[in-house]
Chain A
Amino acid sequence: MAITPAAPCHGCAANRDEVLVQLGISPGRFDYLVALAGNPNTGKSTIFNSLTGLRQHTGNWPGKTVARADGGYQHADHRFKLVDLPGTYSLQAGSPDEEVARDFILFGQPDVTVVVVDATRLERNLNLVLQILEITDRVVVDLNLVDEARRHGIAIDERKLATELGVPVVPTVARTGEGIPALREAVYRVANGETATRPYRIADYPPELEAAVDKLVPLIEDTYPELPNSRWVALRLLNKDERVEDAVRTGEIGVLASDAAAAATGLSTGRGGSRPEVASISHATAGSLALAEGQVEPASPGQAILRRTEQLRWQLSPDYHDALTRRFFEAAHEIAQSASATGLRKTKFDLDRTLDRIFTNRWLGFPLMLLMLAAVFWITIAGANLPSRMLGVLLIDNLHPILSNFGASIGLPGWLNGLLFDGIYLATAWVIAVMLPPMAIFFPLFTLLEDFGYLPRVAFNLDSLFRRAGAHGKQALTMCMGFGCNAAGVVATRVIDSPRERLIAIITNNFSLCNGRWPTQILIATIFIGALAPAHLAGLVSATAVVGVALLGIFSMFLTSWFLSRTMLRGEATTFSLELPPYRPPRILQTLYTSLIDRTFIVLWRAIVFAAPAGAVIWLVANVSVGGASLAEHFISWSNPFGLLIGLNGVILLAYIVAIPANEIVIPTVLMLTVLTSAAVAGVGEGAGVMFELESAASMGVLLQTAGWTTLTGVNLMLFSLLHNPCSTTLYTIYKETGSARWTAVSALLPLAMGFAVCFVVAQVWRIVG
């Protein structure tokens, strides 16, 4: 780390590097370390992205499942490393997120801490700023969302705010990038010491804390007379600040305190008293050196201070903490009031409230919700139909034969040709054709609703229903996302910050019938259930059956949530709070564009990573022969008895095993395997190992029925398609989000066990009755 004369040395540089490694940052290769902190939902990630561009790296904090991103940027010929801390409301270390944030600022000692503040909620956000100012001087406040503030008639005087807080305040609009260059400059100036900060320190704490400080300060001043800020040290000790404690114990406190003084470069600082001038700093350094040489003796003066601190802490009332928090909020209130003017535009405020009244109205609320969701689903299904078909024609009907022939023409051996083009390529193409259009429509629509601010109101309305099942209202949203894609639904559970409710949402997300399973459901319903009804009602009947299965899924979700919260997840922590942000006009085109691109990449990535190997396995299983029959045939005949017992058959079981990667390829695989193993329908299709579908549902129905499928098989296939283990993408995502092999296993096995049990019971009852 480059140490310029103007930048004070942070105690032992070597020590800090060690600590940084523990916190997961590789030392060196940067000039300045910058931490990015702030409340959740302040646009912090947008700021992070604006500053680092694509030069970022995501992962987890060591030993925790808290996500982390870090990146870098260049400014004024210096390299800055930026670490994105989790969004937190405070630093009280009550949750893993807060522990991570506090530990990093306290022990990692970043050169600058940038706190992103929401201009529309200044007072609440200042609580975190003031807490951060208690433990570090080198802070820059990023006043974000100033455009939103303007829209709501709030004007903030950033110069006044900066004067009050004693640190630079930079207004930004993260969405457009306004203010980012100024932010970089402000960070640089604080990092290299050009800007001296005089951070606001609360002058009068609650009386009992002040009394304790008054008793402790004389002892500290006696022991370390040259310390310029004994009051700050006393407060930190009473708050059990471990770093300061260690420094007092070893005598290093002289160095640490001189840092805090040096940051103010010798000016008289703090509002709680004056500090001696520059001379004291050199004294402090000399004093600390003497102390360091003296080293730690058993009954060192530092120990005496710590013992006294312990006694004083016992005298504080058990809820002194509440009084302390209140003091922070009072200070935040004063500062916010003096620096902002509100109510400049009355009309906008009323619009928000009117919308709220409509969306949460007792009579209108639920119907409006159902209408919105129905609209989203209908647009997705209707809109994806044509593009899916076109993609299918392009990739499968046209490209596939071309590639096959090409392979043959360049002399590829038959098996390699088959493996590459019939297996791998075909599976990948299938997944893309089936998945891409619906995902590209469903998710942008959802993101629009989210941007607009409607989704939290949905969670608000449905919360009491979910609470009875032991879950959180926001699970309604992740459940809806799951109807698009279960993996996306699992990622969406990040908005649930209560650990138990989050786990419940993750494990039960699979019961939302994802886009990949709709074709299976619709097809089987048409063949086996619609066929039972008179022709003019067939369509309606099969649609009802599919909706029925989806509703069964939702019911299973509630049931499983309730079950989990009463048994396996009983002891996990729970916190509920739901913030209802103001409504925001969505930037329709921009959102559609970004969401579209995002989704396309994800689908392509998933197709290549998961579907391609599946295609290989499918082809191999059908073509590799052992003892005269293919592996597929062996497995199917072996598992058929069990399959029949639960109302399915060996073909379906094998198809589901090889299609763990992707639900979309279940039907084509089933058809291929049926042809492979059933003499009655041999000759149909494209050959062993080549997935296919027929033109009409009716012809597929004939094929299956000839091979021995009954209505029971169809019904149970629909049920099993709903209640089986999540696809491999979802499992992988669950593992990454929870960091726990145990919960991933539960997510996989619980639905599977339910599927087997339900199919079994249905089959027995069917056979008894029918």
Chain B
Amino acid sequence: MNPVFSLLIFLATSAVLVAIFWPRTGLIARLSRYRRLEERVLIEDTLKHMYNCEYAGRRATEESLAGFLETSIGHAVRTLARGEEMGFLRFEGLEPVLTKEGQQYALRVLRAHRLLERYMADRTGVDPVEWHAEADRLEHTLSRDDAEGLASRLGHPLYDPHGDPIPTAAGGIPPMEGQPLATLDEGEIARIVHLEDEPPELFNEIVAAGLGPGMRLRLLDTSLNEVQFEADGRVHRLSPAVASRITVVPAGEAVQLPTHSLADLEPGESGQVLGISPILQGPQRRRLLDLGVVPGTEIRAEFESSAGDPVAYLIRGALIALRRDQASLIQLVAEPEVDDAAAGRLEGAEA
């Protein structure tokens, strides 16, 4: 057969195969996503949305539900009617409200969702921007026993990786706390307790900025078109829309904002650990903790590899090699600052 011909056929076939099978953007991946529009899935998502609203002190409406489910308002109305039939919600006037059964059902779905996110954060390498969508997909397939088993394996975690509490099997959940970032006083230090994952575009921006629950920040300035704050040794600027997705709790007076990391140490220098950045969760974090990277530990950088990365550190008597991206997430206590005024006075006195 003419070789040019066979080459062309080969290339064409390869292209077709890629288009069909490539993960997430391929035909098969897309088709499996469309299977979500079953009724049970719709009902569960509705109850979840209503619960989230009520937890935050609001009421769900037909419009908000239509937005959440990404369908038409008519479809949302029909779904609500179906939910009322099934006894999960009732109408107070025109507003839908969850019944006791509806609440319990919603909490179970929420529990499954947040456990799955915790699982993905702790035990897999799935990208943070994908957690929510994946958990959304899988929460409907998790039975109550499955959820229990998962919780047990994860050591019964209390919070999901967004900072949200995971309802217990009995349906217990603590009340919501915290205030929006922009409402802090200027210069106040606070801890991020929650990141809203809807809509995904805004959430992705927050993740891309390197922010996560548990992180400490200091509000610098708020204005009409931007919110400025300091975190992780850098200054962040976010639009008010994005910043509204961040809920914080004031951290109190005696708290330090981390400025240095292990990656700043040159061979021969040492520093004291302040903590591991909250961004680093899951098996990586646990491994570092197990190796002795806990607040108060002295770590000394010993030598670099031939390629410059990783670097070998002396940690609690053992020589451990860490990559730069890991080292940059290990926060160090800032060195005590030299009192410039006093130094100047001394020099002046000598002169």
Contact of A574 among B22, B284, B308, B319 (CB under 8 A): B284
| Contact A360–B306 (Cβ < 8 Å) | yes
Q: Chain B contacts of A330 at CB under 8 A? A: 296
Does residue B345 face the partner (Cβ distance < 8 Å to A)? no
Does residue B128 face the partner (Cβ distance < 8 Å to A)? no
Does residue B158 face the partner (Cβ distance < 8 Å to A)? yes
Determine, out of A140-148, A193-201, A211-219, A318-326, the stretch whose residues face the partner at the interface: A318-326
| Contact B303–A360 (Cβ < 8 Å) | yes
Does residue B53 face the partner (Cβ distance < 8 Å to A)? no
A interface footprint on B161-172 (CB within 8 Å = 1, 0 otherwise): 001010010101
Q: Chain A contacts of B262 at CB under 8 A? A: none
* A356 to B305 Cα, complex, angstroms: 9
Among B7, B159, B289, chain A packs the most CB atoms within 10 A around the CB of B289
| Contact A329–B321 (Cβ < 8 Å) | no
Does residue B153 face the partner (Cβ distance < 8 Å to A)? yes
Q: Give, as a whole number of angstroms, the nearest-CB distance from B83 to chain A.
A: 29
| Contact A461–B291 (Cβ < 8 Å) | no
Does residue A570 face the partner (Cβ distance < 8 Å to B)? yes
B interface footprint on A735-770 (CB within 8 Å = 1, 0 otherwise): 000000000000000000000010011011101100
Contact of B159 among A318, A463, A761, A765 (CB under 8 A): A318
A94-115 residues at the B interface, CB under 8 angstroms: 94-95, 99
Does residue B1 face the partner (Cβ distance < 8 Å to A)? yes
Does residue B93 face the partner (Cβ distance < 8 Å to A)? no
| Contact A319–B283 (Cβ < 8 Å) | no
Does residue B4 face the partner (Cβ distance < 8 Å to A)? yes
Determine, out of B34-42, B97-105, B310-318, the stretch whose residues face the partner at the interface: B310-318
Residue of B nearest to A91 (CB): B290
Contact of B213 among A94, A127, A318, A574 (CB under 8 A): A318
B207-258 residues at the A interface, CB under 8 angstroms: 213-214
Does residue B96 face the partner (Cβ distance < 8 Å to A)? no
Given known contacts A329-B294, A760-B10, is B307 in contact with A94 (CB within 8 Å)?
no
Count A-side interface residues using an 8 Å CB cutoff: 73
Contact of A578 among B124, B172, B321 (CB under 8 A): B321
Q: Chain A contacts of B155 at CB under 8 A? A: 92-94, 240
| Contact B310–A463 (Cβ < 8 Å) | yes
Does residue B287 face the partner (Cβ distance < 8 Å to A)? yes
| Contact A123–B316 (Cβ < 8 Å) | yes
Does residue B126 face the partner (Cβ distance < 8 Å to A)? yes
Given known contacts A92-B155, A314-B158, A322-B275, is B6 in contact with A123 (CB within 8 Å)?
no
Does residue A412 face the partner (Cβ distance < 8 Å to B)? no
Q: Chain B contacts of A606 at CB under 8 A? A: none
Q: Chain B contacts of A576 at CB under 8 A? A: 284, 322-323, 326
B1-39 residues at the A interface, CB under 8 angstroms: 1, 3-4, 6-7, 10, 22-23
| Contact B284–A575 (Cβ < 8 Å) | yes
Does residue B304 face the partner (Cβ distance < 8 Å to A)? yes
Q: Give, as a whole number of angstroms, the nearest-CB distance from A501 to chain B.
A: 10
| Contact A572–B125 (Cβ < 8 Å) | yes
* A357 to B303 Cα, complex, angstroms: 7
Q: Chain A contacts of B158 at CB under 8 A? A: 313-314, 316, 318
Given known contacts A576-B323, A580-B312, is B307 in contact with A92 (CB within 8 Å)?
no
Q: Chain A contacts of B297 at CB under 8 A? A: 329
A356-373 residues at the B interface, CB under 8 angstroms: 356-357, 360-362, 365-366
| Contact B3–A763 (Cβ < 8 Å) | yes
A65-98 residues at the B interface, CB under 8 angstroms: 89-90, 92-95
Does residue A232 face the partner (Cβ distance < 8 Å to B)? no
Residue of B nearest to A500 (CB): B125
Q: Chain B contacts of A95 at CB under 8 A? A: 283, 286
Q: Chain B contacts of A318 at CB under 8 A? A: 158-159, 163, 213-214
Q: Give, as a whole number of angstroms, the nearest-CB distance from A293 to chain B.
A: 27
| Contact B312–A460 (Cβ < 8 Å) | yes
Given known contacts A93-B155, A570-B125, A571-B125, is B318 in contact with A464 (CB within 8 Å)?
no
Does residue B144 face the partner (Cβ distance < 8 Å to A)? no
Main SS at interface, chain A: helix
Q: Chain A contacts of B213 at CB under 8 A? A: 318
* A470 to B165 Cα, complex, angstroms: 33
Q: Give, as a whole number of angstroms, the nearest-CB distance from A316 to chain B.
A: 7
Does residue B116 face the partner (Cβ distance < 8 Å to A)? no
Q: Give, as a whole number of angstroms, the nearest-CB distance from B222 to chain A.
A: 26
Among A461, A464, A498, A577, chain B packs the most CB atoms within 10 A around the CB of A577
Does residue A626 face the partner (Cβ distance < 8 Å to B)? no
| Contact A764–B165 (Cβ < 8 Å) | no
* A127 to B322 Cα, complex, angstroms: 20
Q: Chain B contacts of A463 at CB under 8 A? A: 305, 307, 309-310, 321, 323
Does residue A124 face the partner (Cβ distance < 8 Å to B)? yes
Does residue A271 face the partner (Cβ distance < 8 Å to B)? no
Residue of A nearest to B122 (CB): A94
| Contact A319–B278 (Cβ < 8 Å) | yes
| Contact B291–A124 (Cβ < 8 Å) | yes
| Contact A579–B321 (Cβ < 8 Å) | yes
Given known contacts A89-B290, A575-B284, is B4 in contact with A768 (CB within 8 Å)?
yes
* A185 to B182 Cα, complex, angstroms: 67
A interface footprint on B276-304 (CB within 8 Å = 1, 0 otherwise): 10100011101111111011110000111
| Contact B286–A314 (Cβ < 8 Å) | no
Contact of B308 among A464, A500, A761 (CB under 8 A): A464
Residue of B nearest to A579 (CB): B320
Q: A329-B294, A353-B303 are in contact. List 10 more A-B contacts (CB 8 A).
A: A93-B153, A314-B172, A318-B159, A319-B278, A461-B306, A573-B282, A574-B284, A764-B7, A765-B3, A768-B3
Q: Write 28 A-B pairs (CB below 8 A) sorted by A numbering.
A: A89-B287, A90-B289, A92-B155, A94-B122, A95-B286, A121-B317, A307-B170, A311-B172, A316-B158, A318-B214, A319-B214, A321-B289, A325-B290, A366-B306, A463-B305, A464-B308, A464-B323, A467-B309, A473-B321, A567-B23, A571-B124, A571-B126, A576-B326, A577-B287, A578-B321, A580-B312, A582-B319, A764-B4
Q: A residues engaging B (CB < 8 A)?
A: 89-90, 92-95, 99, 120-124, 127, 240, 242, 307, 310-311, 313-314, 316, 318-319, 321-323, 325-326, 329-330, 333, 353, 356-357, 360-362, 365-366, 460-465, 467, 473, 498, 500, 567-568, 570-582, 645, 757, 760-761, 763-765, 767-768
